[in-house]
Structure 1
Amino acid sequence: MRGPPMELLWEITGWAGAAAMLCAYMTVSMGWIKPGSTFQAVNLFGSCAFIINGTLHGAWPSVVTNVAWFLISAVALLRMRSRTEAAVVETEPIIAPALVTMDLVTMDPGTSDTFARDAVVRETAVRETCMTDTGTHMVVPRPSPAVNCA
């Protein structure tokens, strides 16, 4: 089927592929998009269009180049997909920090422990002071080990 309407369709296909690939290259080069899945998908489309157009015109160097371009884009997309799926599976739940007590009474104010105590007081986001029969204790959050529920 190579009548004038079909030839026009294949010419439009070739020009659409050229426009897509040039736009993808320009947008990545200008920093408008990152070279991710959108870039690879546009390159995949463009190379397919060039393969069709080149085959109909007998432009075999172009066809071979675009088959390679297609394979590179396809492999890149598959790798991105597998990395995304692996990242979703390996995510861990957010766990509230466990609480640890620090005995403030036993820290001697005349030694370097004062610096450590003051640093803990300044940098601790969650602080509670409670009185016990052994003295005053500060409650400091401590990250607990993550549990993989998968």
Structure 2
Amino acid sequence: MSPSDFQRLIAQVTAQLAGRPLNADLAAWLNVTYSADSQTFSDLADACRVGVAEGWLCNREGGGIRYGRIFKALPDTHGFSVDVVDMKDIAGPHHVHPHGEIDLIMPLTEGATFDGHAAGWCVYEPGSAHRPTVANGEALVLYLLPQGAIEFTAA
């Protein structure tokens, strides 16, 4: 697995997401189509674990969180930026999603959750905000941001 292999893998998913509204219906579709027991989920989780181990994912650290943007919003990723974070029993910085956010939750500790969600997908609608929180252990979370848009706030 290399960053370019990872980009091709992500692009298979983002091709299915381009132009779709970011809402609860999309979250439900993702959790059926690419469920936590699917080959795509397994391939993405394996790629993320390899990328972290090899140092090309989550290559920055701050406030107890390892993170990194591997791809800006590109035509090859259908206008989505791609970030991966490694969090353990921590809340991250508050931010707003101007165009929404799609998250793939990959627990490293059995039972770890992201914003109360177990392994799988969650989708935040445009204009939503949160303090991303991993509880009950450690998880990798892959973030897809339309146009790479995110606004960190003081909240």
- Structure of larger gyration radius: 1
Higher relative strand content: 2
TM value normalised by structure 1:
0.28
TM-score (norm. length: structure 2): 0.27
Larger RCO, structures 1/2 (Cα 8 Å, 6+ apart): 2
